[in-house]
Amino acid sequence: MSAQKFEKRRAKVIRQFRQHEVDGLLVTNEKNVSYLTGFSGEDSYLLLNKKQAVLLSDSRFTTQIEEECPDLKTCIRGPRQNMSGMISQLVNQSETSNLAIESSSMTVQALEGLKSVLKNTHLKPVSEMVENIRLIKDREEISKIKEAVVQAERGFESMKASLIGTDTELQVAHQLEHWMRRFGASGNSFSPIIAVGERSALPHARPTYGLISGSGFLLVDWGADHESGYKSDLTRMIVTGKVSSKLEKVYRLVLKANEKAIQAVRAGVRCCDVDSVARKIIENGGYGKKFGHGLGHGLGLDVHEGPRVGPTSETVLEPGMIITIEPGIYLPGWGGVRIEDDILVTKEGYEVLSSIPKGWDTVRIGI
Protein backbone atom coordinates (compact mmCIF):
# COMPACT_ATOMS: atom_id res chain seq x y z
CA MET A 1 0.00 0.00 0.00
CA SER A 2 1.12 3.52 -0.69
CA ALA A 3 2.55 5.80 1.98
CA GLN A 4 -0.23 8.30 1.21
CA LYS A 5 -2.84 5.79 2.29
CA PHE A 6 -1.31 5.50 5.74
CA GLU A 7 -0.94 9.26 5.95
CA LYS A 8 -4.65 9.65 5.21
CA ARG A 9 -5.52 7.18 7.92
CA ARG A 10 -3.38 9.08 10.40
CA ALA A 11 -5.05 12.33 9.37
CA LYS A 12 -8.41 10.78 10.29
CA VAL A 13 -7.08 10.06 13.76
CA ILE A 14 -5.69 13.56 14.13
CA ARG A 15 -9.07 15.03 13.21
CA GLN A 16 -10.47 13.42 16.39
CA PHE A 17 -7.93 15.17 18.66
CA ARG A 18 -10.07 18.24 19.26
CA GLN A 19 -13.10 16.23 20.34
CA HIS A 20 -10.96 14.37 22.90
CA GLU A 21 -9.12 17.55 23.94
CA VAL A 22 -5.68 16.10 23.22
CA ASP A 23 -2.81 17.14 21.00
CA GLY A 24 -1.28 13.73 20.48
CA LEU A 25 -1.92 9.97 20.62
CA LEU A 26 0.43 7.17 21.59
CA VAL A 27 -0.68 4.15 19.57
CA THR A 28 0.31 0.96 21.42
CA ASN A 29 -2.17 -1.59 20.06
CA GLU A 30 -0.15 -3.64 17.57
CA LYS A 31 -2.95 -3.88 15.01
CA ASN A 32 -3.55 -0.14 15.20
CA VAL A 33 0.16 0.57 14.68
CA SER A 34 0.10 -1.70 11.66
CA TYR A 35 -3.08 -0.08 10.32
CA LEU A 36 -1.59 3.41 10.57
CA THR A 37 1.92 2.65 9.27
CA GLY A 38 2.06 -0.64 7.34
CA PHE A 39 4.62 -1.99 9.79
CA SER A 40 3.80 -5.59 10.74
CA GLY A 41 6.23 -6.27 13.60
CA GLU A 42 5.71 -6.33 17.35
CA ASP A 43 6.70 -4.27 20.37
CA SER A 44 6.62 -0.99 18.46
CA TYR A 45 4.59 2.15 19.12
CA LEU A 46 3.46 5.07 17.00
CA LEU A 47 3.58 8.58 18.44
CA LEU A 48 1.22 10.82 16.58
CA ASN A 49 0.73 14.54 16.86
CA LYS A 50 -0.24 17.33 14.50
CA LYS A 51 3.34 17.89 13.39
CA GLN A 52 4.61 14.39 12.87
CA ALA A 53 4.23 10.62 13.16
CA VAL A 54 7.14 8.68 14.64
CA LEU A 55 7.45 4.91 14.84
CA LEU A 56 9.29 3.78 17.99
CA SER A 57 10.98 0.43 17.66
CA ASP A 58 14.18 -1.49 18.39
CA SER A 59 17.05 -2.84 16.36
CA ARG A 60 15.43 -6.23 15.71
CA PHE A 61 13.10 -4.44 13.30
CA THR A 62 15.40 -1.98 11.53
CA THR A 63 15.45 -3.91 8.25
CA GLN A 64 11.74 -4.69 8.36
CA ILE A 65 10.82 -1.04 8.91
CA GLU A 66 12.98 0.03 5.97
CA GLU A 67 11.09 -2.42 3.78
CA GLU A 68 7.58 -1.84 5.09
CA CYS A 69 7.46 1.90 5.77
CA PRO A 70 10.53 3.60 4.30
CA ASP A 71 8.93 7.07 4.35
CA LEU A 72 8.01 7.05 8.02
CA LYS A 73 10.08 8.85 10.62
CA THR A 74 11.48 6.19 12.92
CA CYS A 75 13.30 6.08 16.24
CA ILE A 76 15.21 2.91 16.97
CA ARG A 77 16.20 2.54 20.58
CA GLY A 78 19.55 1.11 21.59
CA PRO A 79 19.97 -1.93 23.87
CA ARG A 80 20.43 0.36 26.90
CA GLN A 81 17.42 2.62 26.29
CA ASN A 82 13.94 1.55 27.28
CA MET A 83 10.70 2.37 25.51
CA SER A 84 9.51 4.79 28.22
CA GLY A 85 12.71 6.77 27.98
CA MET A 86 12.38 7.07 24.23
CA ILE A 87 8.74 8.13 24.49
CA SER A 88 9.46 10.78 27.11
CA GLN A 89 12.27 12.24 25.00
CA LEU A 90 10.04 12.52 21.93
CA VAL A 91 6.99 13.78 23.77
CA ASN A 92 9.00 16.48 25.48
CA GLN A 93 10.58 17.53 22.19
CA SER A 94 7.18 17.76 20.52
CA GLU A 95 5.70 19.83 23.36
CA THR A 96 2.64 17.64 23.63
CA SER A 97 0.70 18.67 26.72
CA ASN A 98 -2.30 16.33 26.47
CA LEU A 99 -1.41 12.91 25.15
CA ALA A 100 -4.12 10.31 24.54
CA ILE A 101 -3.27 6.68 25.33
CA GLU A 102 -5.19 3.63 24.15
CA SER A 103 -6.98 2.51 27.30
CA SER A 104 -8.31 -0.76 25.91
CA SER A 105 -4.85 -2.15 25.22
CA MET A 106 -2.38 -0.35 27.51
CA THR A 107 -1.81 -2.10 30.81
CA VAL A 108 -1.99 -0.32 34.15
CA GLN A 109 1.71 -1.01 34.65
CA ALA A 110 2.65 0.53 31.29
CA LEU A 111 0.62 3.66 32.08
CA GLU A 112 2.28 3.95 35.51
CA GLY A 113 5.66 3.68 33.81
CA LEU A 114 4.76 6.42 31.35
CA LYS A 115 3.40 8.70 34.04
CA SER A 116 6.62 8.43 35.99
CA VAL A 117 8.69 9.70 33.05
CA LEU A 118 6.17 12.19 31.57
CA LYS A 119 5.70 14.56 34.45
CA ASN A 120 4.70 17.58 32.35
CA THR A 121 2.26 15.82 30.06
CA HIS A 122 -1.29 14.91 30.92
CA LEU A 123 -2.02 11.34 29.83
CA LYS A 124 -5.63 10.84 28.83
CA PRO A 125 -7.09 7.34 28.43
CA VAL A 126 -9.25 7.16 25.32
CA SER A 127 -10.62 4.23 23.36
CA GLU A 128 -11.66 3.44 19.82
CA MET A 129 -9.90 6.39 18.13
CA VAL A 130 -8.27 4.08 15.60
CA GLU A 131 -10.84 1.28 15.83
CA ASN A 132 -13.51 3.75 14.68
CA ILE A 133 -11.65 4.25 11.42
CA ARG A 134 -10.95 0.54 10.99
CA LEU A 135 -14.72 -0.10 10.84
CA ILE A 136 -14.81 0.92 7.16
CA LYS A 137 -12.60 -1.17 4.87
CA ASP A 138 -11.04 0.29 1.74
CA ARG A 139 -10.58 -1.51 -1.54
CA GLU A 140 -7.25 -3.09 -0.64
CA GLU A 141 -8.50 -4.29 2.72
CA ILE A 142 -11.56 -5.81 1.10
CA SER A 143 -9.40 -7.62 -1.41
CA LYS A 144 -7.22 -9.08 1.36
CA ILE A 145 -10.21 -10.25 3.35
CA LYS A 146 -11.56 -11.83 0.17
CA GLU A 147 -8.27 -13.67 -0.20
CA ALA A 148 -8.47 -14.81 3.42
CA VAL A 149 -11.95 -16.15 2.68
CA VAL A 150 -10.66 -18.05 -0.36
CA GLN A 151 -7.80 -19.52 1.71
CA ALA A 152 -10.30 -20.66 4.35
CA GLU A 153 -12.69 -22.10 1.79
CA ARG A 154 -10.12 -23.97 -0.27
CA GLY A 155 -8.66 -25.31 2.98
CA PHE A 156 -12.07 -26.47 4.14
CA GLU A 157 -12.95 -28.12 0.84
CA SER A 158 -9.62 -29.97 0.77
CA MET A 159 -9.98 -31.09 4.37
CA LYS A 160 -13.57 -32.20 3.76
CA ALA A 161 -12.62 -34.12 0.62
CA SER A 162 -10.01 -36.10 2.54
CA LEU A 163 -11.96 -36.85 5.75
CA ILE A 164 -12.08 -40.41 7.03
CA GLY A 165 -14.21 -41.73 9.87
CA THR A 166 -11.22 -42.50 12.09
CA ASP A 167 -10.11 -38.86 12.13
CA THR A 168 -10.39 -37.16 15.50
CA GLU A 169 -11.57 -33.60 16.05
CA LEU A 170 -7.95 -32.64 16.70
CA GLN A 171 -6.72 -34.23 13.50
CA VAL A 172 -9.37 -32.39 11.52
CA ALA A 173 -8.30 -29.12 13.15
CA HIS A 174 -4.70 -29.78 12.18
CA GLN A 175 -5.60 -30.84 8.65
CA LEU A 176 -7.65 -27.71 8.19
CA GLU A 177 -4.77 -25.46 9.14
CA HIS A 178 -2.37 -27.49 7.02
CA TRP A 179 -4.57 -27.05 3.96
CA MET A 180 -5.19 -23.33 4.53
CA ARG A 181 -1.43 -22.82 4.69
CA ARG A 182 -1.06 -24.62 1.40
CA PHE A 183 -3.35 -22.00 -0.11
CA GLY A 184 -1.25 -19.17 1.31
CA ALA A 185 -2.62 -18.53 4.79
CA SER A 186 -0.18 -17.84 7.62
CA GLY A 187 -2.35 -20.10 9.73
CA ASN A 188 -5.65 -20.09 11.58
CA SER A 189 -7.28 -16.76 12.35
CA PHE A 190 -8.34 -18.36 15.66
CA SER A 191 -8.26 -21.86 17.21
CA PRO A 192 -10.79 -23.68 15.06
CA ILE A 193 -13.85 -25.29 16.60
CA ILE A 194 -14.33 -28.85 15.37
CA ALA A 195 -17.20 -30.17 17.46
CA VAL A 196 -18.86 -33.53 16.93
CA GLY A 197 -22.46 -34.22 17.99
CA GLU A 198 -23.40 -32.88 21.39
CA ARG A 199 -20.10 -30.99 21.69
CA SER A 200 -21.38 -28.68 18.96
CA ALA A 201 -23.81 -27.27 21.54
CA LEU A 202 -20.82 -25.66 23.30
CA PRO A 203 -20.19 -22.33 21.55
CA HIS A 204 -16.45 -22.52 22.40
CA ALA A 205 -15.75 -26.26 22.20
CA ARG A 206 -12.09 -27.21 21.82
CA PRO A 207 -11.14 -30.09 19.54
CA THR A 208 -10.71 -33.39 21.40
CA TYR A 209 -9.54 -36.91 20.61
CA GLY A 210 -13.19 -37.79 19.89
CA LEU A 211 -13.83 -39.42 16.49
CA ILE A 212 -15.60 -37.32 13.92
CA SER A 213 -17.78 -40.33 13.13
CA GLY A 214 -18.75 -40.59 16.80
CA SER A 215 -22.05 -38.88 16.13
CA GLY A 216 -24.02 -38.05 13.01
CA PHE A 217 -22.68 -34.54 12.42
CA LEU A 218 -20.04 -31.97 13.25
CA LEU A 219 -19.73 -28.22 13.37
CA VAL A 220 -16.64 -26.53 11.90
CA ASP A 221 -15.96 -22.87 12.79
CA TRP A 222 -12.67 -21.71 11.33
CA GLY A 223 -10.89 -18.96 9.45
CA ALA A 224 -7.66 -18.07 7.72
CA ASP A 225 -5.06 -15.50 8.72
CA HIS A 226 -3.87 -13.80 5.53
CA GLU A 227 -0.20 -12.82 5.54
CA SER A 228 -1.28 -9.16 5.58
CA GLY A 229 -2.97 -9.82 8.93
CA TYR A 230 -6.54 -9.71 7.58
CA LYS A 231 -8.83 -12.55 8.68
CA SER A 232 -11.77 -14.66 7.60
CA ASP A 233 -14.28 -16.44 9.85
CA LEU A 234 -16.74 -19.08 8.66
CA THR A 235 -18.91 -21.89 10.02
CA ARG A 236 -20.29 -24.91 8.21
CA MET A 237 -21.93 -28.14 9.32
CA ILE A 238 -20.90 -31.54 8.00
CA VAL A 239 -23.28 -34.49 8.27
CA THR A 240 -21.49 -37.83 8.43
CA GLY A 241 -24.19 -40.22 9.56
CA LYS A 242 -27.85 -40.99 9.34
CA VAL A 243 -29.87 -37.81 8.97
CA SER A 244 -32.38 -37.25 11.75
CA SER A 245 -35.51 -35.24 11.11
CA LYS A 246 -34.61 -33.05 14.09
CA LEU A 247 -31.25 -32.16 12.55
CA GLU A 248 -32.89 -31.35 9.23
CA LYS A 249 -35.50 -29.16 10.91
CA VAL A 250 -32.95 -27.25 13.01
CA TYR A 251 -30.56 -26.90 10.08
CA ARG A 252 -33.21 -25.52 7.72
CA LEU A 253 -34.32 -23.02 10.36
CA VAL A 254 -30.77 -21.75 10.97
CA LEU A 255 -30.16 -21.58 7.22
CA LYS A 256 -33.30 -19.51 6.74
CA ALA A 257 -32.20 -17.17 9.52
CA ASN A 258 -28.75 -16.88 7.93
CA GLU A 259 -30.10 -16.17 4.45
CA LYS A 260 -32.82 -13.72 5.46
CA ALA A 261 -30.46 -11.81 7.74
CA ILE A 262 -27.92 -11.51 4.92
CA GLN A 263 -30.65 -10.15 2.65
CA ALA A 264 -31.42 -7.52 5.29
CA VAL A 265 -27.86 -6.12 5.16
CA ARG A 266 -27.67 -2.70 3.56
CA ALA A 267 -26.03 0.65 4.28
CA GLY A 268 -28.29 2.71 6.54
CA VAL A 269 -29.73 -0.25 8.45
CA ARG A 270 -29.00 -0.64 12.17
CA CYS A 271 -27.10 -3.76 13.27
CA CYS A 272 -29.85 -4.63 15.77
CA ASP A 273 -32.38 -4.72 12.95
CA VAL A 274 -30.31 -7.27 11.04
CA ASP A 275 -29.97 -9.32 14.22
CA SER A 276 -33.71 -9.09 14.71
CA VAL A 277 -34.47 -10.62 11.30
CA ALA A 278 -32.59 -13.81 12.22
CA ARG A 279 -33.80 -13.83 15.81
CA LYS A 280 -37.47 -13.61 14.85
CA ILE A 281 -37.16 -16.51 12.42
CA ILE A 282 -35.56 -18.67 15.12
CA GLU A 283 -38.12 -17.53 17.70
CA ASN A 284 -41.00 -18.30 15.36
CA GLY A 285 -39.47 -21.73 14.82
CA GLY A 286 -39.70 -22.34 18.56
CA TYR A 287 -35.99 -22.09 19.39
CA GLY A 288 -35.74 -18.45 20.52
CA LYS A 289 -34.09 -19.31 23.82
CA LYS A 290 -31.55 -21.56 22.13
CA PHE A 291 -29.88 -18.74 20.17
CA GLY A 292 -27.87 -17.28 23.03
CA HIS A 293 -25.36 -15.04 21.27
CA GLY A 294 -25.34 -12.03 18.96
CA LEU A 295 -25.82 -12.53 15.22
CA GLY A 296 -22.31 -11.49 14.23
CA HIS A 297 -19.39 -9.08 14.43
CA GLY A 298 -17.02 -7.03 12.33
CA LEU A 299 -13.99 -8.67 10.76
CA GLY A 300 -10.64 -7.22 9.70
CA LEU A 301 -7.18 -7.18 11.28
CA ASP A 302 -8.93 -8.67 14.31
CA VAL A 303 -11.19 -11.64 13.90
CA HIS A 304 -13.60 -9.94 16.29
CA GLU A 305 -13.85 -6.19 15.83
CA GLY A 306 -16.55 -3.57 15.37
CA PRO A 307 -19.36 -3.31 14.59
CA ARG A 308 -21.07 -5.66 17.01
CA VAL A 309 -24.15 -7.16 15.34
CA GLY A 310 -26.41 -7.99 18.28
CA PRO A 311 -29.86 -7.23 19.65
CA THR A 312 -28.72 -4.01 21.36
CA SER A 313 -26.28 -2.67 18.75
CA GLU A 314 -27.54 0.65 17.36
CA THR A 315 -24.59 1.02 14.97
CA VAL A 316 -25.77 1.91 11.48
CA LEU A 317 -24.21 -0.15 8.71
CA GLU A 318 -22.05 1.77 6.23
CA PRO A 319 -20.57 0.79 2.87
CA GLY A 320 -17.21 -0.91 3.44
CA MET A 321 -18.06 -2.60 6.73
CA ILE A 322 -17.43 -6.34 6.72
CA ILE A 323 -19.44 -8.42 9.16
CA THR A 324 -20.17 -12.05 9.94
CA ILE A 325 -23.73 -13.36 9.97
CA GLU A 326 -23.82 -16.47 12.16
CA PRO A 327 -27.12 -17.50 13.69
CA GLY A 328 -27.14 -20.73 15.70
CA ILE A 329 -29.36 -23.04 17.70
CA TYR A 330 -27.80 -24.95 20.63
CA LEU A 331 -29.53 -27.83 22.37
CA PRO A 332 -27.47 -29.11 25.34
CA GLY A 333 -27.04 -32.87 25.24
CA TRP A 334 -27.99 -33.04 21.57
CA GLY A 335 -25.84 -30.58 19.67
CA GLY A 336 -25.80 -27.28 17.89
CA VAL A 337 -26.11 -25.89 14.38
CA ARG A 338 -24.49 -22.64 13.24
CA ILE A 339 -24.00 -21.28 9.72
CA GLU A 340 -21.65 -18.34 9.27
CA ASP A 341 -20.79 -16.18 6.27
CA ASP A 342 -18.70 -13.05 5.76
CA ILE A 343 -20.62 -10.12 4.29
CA LEU A 344 -19.48 -6.83 2.79
CA VAL A 345 -21.91 -3.94 3.23
CA THR A 346 -22.38 -2.00 0.00
CA LYS A 347 -24.35 1.11 -0.93
CA GLU A 348 -26.99 -0.96 -2.63
CA GLY A 349 -27.04 -3.84 -0.15
CA TYR A 350 -24.45 -6.51 0.40
CA GLU A 351 -21.90 -8.80 -1.17
CA VAL A 352 -21.48 -12.30 0.28
CA LEU A 353 -17.73 -12.94 0.35
CA SER A 354 -18.01 -16.62 1.23
CA SER A 355 -19.22 -19.17 -1.26
CA ILE A 356 -19.10 -22.68 0.19
CA PRO A 357 -22.48 -24.29 -0.54
CA LYS A 358 -24.75 -24.43 2.50
CA GLY A 359 -27.98 -25.88 1.14
CA TRP A 360 -29.30 -28.85 3.14
CA ASP A 361 -28.60 -31.10 0.17
CA THR A 362 -24.87 -30.21 0.24
CA VAL A 363 -23.96 -30.96 3.85
CA ARG A 364 -23.91 -34.76 3.89
CA ILE A 365 -20.69 -36.62 3.06
CA GLY A 366 -19.84 -40.33 2.92
CA ILE A 367 -16.85 -41.28 5.08
Q: Based on CB atoms, which residue is closest to a copy of itself, 29 or 324?
A: 29
CA dist 283 and 114 (Å) reads 51
- Residue 307, preceding peptide bond in cis (omega within 30° of 0): yes
Nearer to a copy of itself, 196 or 353 (CB): 196
Least distance between a copy of itself and beta carbon 7 (Å): 26
Report helix, strand or coil for 118.
coil
Q: Give phi and psi for 312, each to the nearest 5.
A: -110, 10
**DSSP at 60:** G
For residues 5-64, which are near a copy of itself according to CB under 8 A?
A: 41-42, 59-61, 63
* Distance of alpha carbon 350 from alpha carbon 292, whole angstroms: 25
Q: Give me the least distance between CB of 21 and a copy of itself, in Å please.
A: 17
> Closer to a copy of itself at the Cβ: 190 or 360?
190
Nearer to a copy of itself, 102 or 259 (CB): 102
* 242 lines the binding site for a copy of itself (CB under 8 A): no
- Per-residue binding string, a copy of itself, 278-317, x by CB under 8 A, is --------------x-------------------------
Q: How far apart are CA 337 and CA 200, in angstroms?
A: 7
- Return the biggest CA–CA distance within the chain: 71
Q: Give 230 or 350: the residue with its C-beta nearer to a copy of itself.
A: 230
10 Å Cβ neighbour count for 242? 9
- Please work out the total of residues on this chain that contact a copy of itself, with binding judged by CB under 8 A: 27
Residue 202 as a binder of a copy of itself (CB under 8 A): the answer is yes
Q: To the nearest whole angstrom, how small is the minimum distance from the Cβ of residue 103 to a copy of itself?
A: 4
- Judged by CB under 8 A, does residue 139 bind a copy of itself? no
- CA gap 355, 49 in Å, rounded: 43
- Would you call 218 helix, strand, or coil by DSSP? strand
- Burial of 27 per CB tally in 10 Å (0-12, 13-18, 19+): buried
Nearest residue to 88 (alpha-carbon basis) of 126, 45, 58, 33: 45
Q: Is 211 in the site for a copy of itself (CB under 8 A)?
A: no
Q: Contacting a copy of itself (CB under 8 A), which of 4, 18, 19, 107?
A: 107
| Smaller CB separation from a copy of itself, 173 or 265 | 173
Name residues contacting a copy of itself, limited to 306-365 (CB under 8 A).
none
Give residues 212-231 in contact with a copy of itself (rule: CB under 8 A).
none
Among 2, 103, 120, 362, binds a copy of itself (CB under 8 A): 103
The distance from CA 18 to its chain's CA centroid, rounded to whole angstroms, is 29
Beta-carbon contacts of residue 109 (< 8 Å; ≥ 6 apart)? none
Site string for a copy of itself, 166-195 (x = CB under 8 A): ----x---x---x--x--------------
∠ CA 103-107-112, nearest 5°, is 100
CB of 285 to a copy of itself, least distance (A): 20
Among candidate residues 197, 191, 251, 261, the one with its CA nearest the CA of residue 223: 191
Q: What is the contact surface with a copy of itself in residues (CB under 8 A)?
A: 41-42, 59-61, 63, 79, 101, 103-109, 111-112, 125, 127, 170, 174, 178, 181, 202-204, 292
